[in-house]
Chain A
Amino acid sequence: MAAEDAALRDLYQQVILDHSRHPRNQGRLDGPDCHHARGHNPACGDEVEVWLKTGPQGQIEDIRFEGQGCAISQASASLMTLALKGASPEAARRLMADFHALVTGASAVGDAEALGNLLALEGVQKFPQRIKCATLAWHAAEQALNQGTQNGRSS
């Protein structure tokens, strides 16, 4: 394999190509405990929308996404839904922070094990232009989660 193919394979690992071709948890959620937010990358026009349903303790009972984008943004969204499903708000926020640390390399990852398959996105670090692709769905999920927990507090 040529050197540049190795670098490409680093970015486009099999798990990423698999999730980009067959994204999990696509669709919408509707109901009283469902929260929705939209992520938009003006540089490329990509959009990802995230819906999540929170339980009585604020845990993420279900999560779905819709949108169009590159392999990185689609795979990241798909893997994210698997990782966040069932998570408490605290665990979800820890995961979000760790994922951010993973793709930016700005700080150390706290709990690599919790990231699981998401570790495949570490290659994004070497492609700074793509960090926004990888984090697009995560920003939307964070916003949706904030809505959920704010509503949870006020009710």
Chain B
Amino acid sequence: MPDLSHRRADFPILHQQVGGHPLIYLDSAASSQKPRQVIDALVRYYERDNANVHRGLHELSNRATEQFEAVRAKVARFIGAASADEVIFTRGTTEGVNLVAQVWASHFLRPGDVIVSTGMEHHSNLVPWQLAAERCGAVVKYVPVLEDGTLDLAALRALLEEGSVKLLTCVHVSNSLGTINPVAQICAWARALGITTLVDGAQAVGHMPVDVQAIGCDFYVFSGHKICAPTGIGVLYGRAEVLANMPPWHGGGEMIDSVTLEGSTYKQAPARFEAGTPDIAGVIGLGAAIDYLEGIGIEVIHAHGQELIQATLQKLQTVPGLRVLGPPPPVQRGSLAAFSLACAHPHDLVEYANTKGLALRGGHHCTQPLMRRFGVVGTSRASFYLYNTHAEADRLVEVLHQAVKFFS
């Protein structure tokens, strides 16, 4: 297993005590911590280069613009996009989905059209489609989740072939199950039927190699804050041909070609979808985060996450009354485990763990339909990133054993 423990020194926040214990941060699937390199990039930007982008002729504006656009090219390379023009900066995954669900859906969906989604989507890749369907008179149909936490691919295929399906939306890595969906296969089926595809990569990017062209999706969305970048910045990848046929979203500065009182014309993507002053610092931070991750190597981070989660799943089996959702080992999964404990509700367990310095997530993880599917009100979740260690996983298991004694 790749030893990344020396990287912990890069994350100032990790070196503190919570409740008299060393902090063990196991909530990176909700939001990751930030390395010094990213924090320094933000400080450097604000102390040296801060100015608005694209519209100034002065030195600072030139510097800011240059750095800002360099990150767009960096993101394109990072996710395997054909061109930087296919990278649209958003506030995060949620905004990316909403942009497509509003602009693309309003333009292309007709009454009776079908959107195919799955039973394991995060609310942010579920509710925008319900809203879009309501607006357009379309229908959302859901691919069932099997007992082992994988999608019913036969049902998915049958749904796609029912006809009237205009869009398929699917999570790459489930935030509750850890399931890694075969998105390249799914998108190939959809593409053959002329169905537009969106993949939610919030839990995939930064954890495993992602190549949007290899996946063959039309849209791919992710958030910066889950991959060591600041909050408030995210990416919507859109295939050039698809973006070219989409009307603008927000109107404002930056997205226009020319404006008269009678009407306006608009720039092409990506500017067309980026009205107003963007989160420039956030973009600079995202660039620094990608540099940081690539400095380690995404393959190395992936191997580390796989090793850690598989070892943890084995150890979790020793905890009485504990049930892990999602694919059983040794099936590859995202580096997270959501579980229920017979003797304690997730809130009680997370509260307990918190007093031992552990940061877990407890609740429905914004996947209420999935929780219902598995007959639980919620689960507790431990999620890892590059800075987590085997010693921390051992401590988690130890605290779970203590919690069982406390609550039984």
Contact = CB atoms under 8 A, between A and B. Distances in A.
Contacts of A69: 345, 347, 377
27 contacts: A3-B20, A4-B19, A4-B21, A4-B355, A5-B355, A8-B352, A11-B351, A12-B348, A12-B407, A44-B362, A44-B363, A44-B364, A45-B364, A45-B368, A45-B371, A45-B377, A46-B377, A68-B377, A70-B347, A71-B344, A71-B345, A71-B348, A72-B348, A74-B345, A130-B347, A130-B351, A133-B347
Contacts of A130: 347, 351
B406 interface: yes
Interface of B: 19-21, 344-348, 351-352, 355-356, 362-364, 368, 371, 377-378, 406-407
Contacts of B378: 44-45
B348 A70 contact: yes
Q: Point out which of B344, B362, B368, B377 has the most chain A C-beta atoms below 10 A from its C-beta.
A: B377
A2 to B, nearest CB: 8
Contacts of A70: 345-348
Interface string A66-83: 001111101000000000
Contacts of A45: 363-364, 368, 371, 377-378
Given A4-B19, A12-B406, A68-B377, A44 B347 contact: yes
Nearest to B345: A70
A13 B355 CA distance: 16
Interface size class of A (residues with CB under 8 A): 20 to 34
A43 interface: yes
Given A71-B407, A74-B345, 4 more contacts: A4-B21, A8-B406, A45-B368, A68-B345
Interface in A25-67: 43-46
A127 B355 CA distance: 11
B406 A4 contact: no
A87 interface: no
Nearest to B349: A70
A12 B347 CA distance: 12
Q: Point out which of B346, B355, B356 has the most chain A C-beta atoms below 10 A from its C-beta.
A: B355
Contacts of A68: 345, 377
Contacts of B355: 4-5, 7-8
A17 interface: yes
A12 B348 CA distance: 9
Contacts of B352: 8
Nearest to A2: B20
Contacts of B368: 45
Nearest to B366: A45
Contacts of B345: 68-71, 74
A45 to B, nearest CB: 4
Given A44-B363, A45-B377, A71-B344, A4 B351 contact: no
Contacts of A127: 351
Nearest to B357: A4
Contacts of B346: 44, 70
A70 B377 CA distance: 10
Which 5 A-B residue pairings sit nearest by Cβ, starting from the closest? Answer: A70-B345, A4-B355, A70-B347, A45-B364, A44-B363
Contact of A4 (B356, B362, B363, B377): B356
B20 A4 contact: yes
A102 to B, nearest CB: 19
Q: Point out which of A2, A4, A17 has the most chain B C-beta atoms below 10 A from its C-beta.
A: A4
Nearest to B343: A21
Contacts of A72: 347-348
A145 B406 CA distance: 36
Contacts of A17: 407
B321 to A, nearest CB: 13
Contacts of B347: 44, 46, 69-70, 72, 130, 133
A8 B407 CA distance: 11
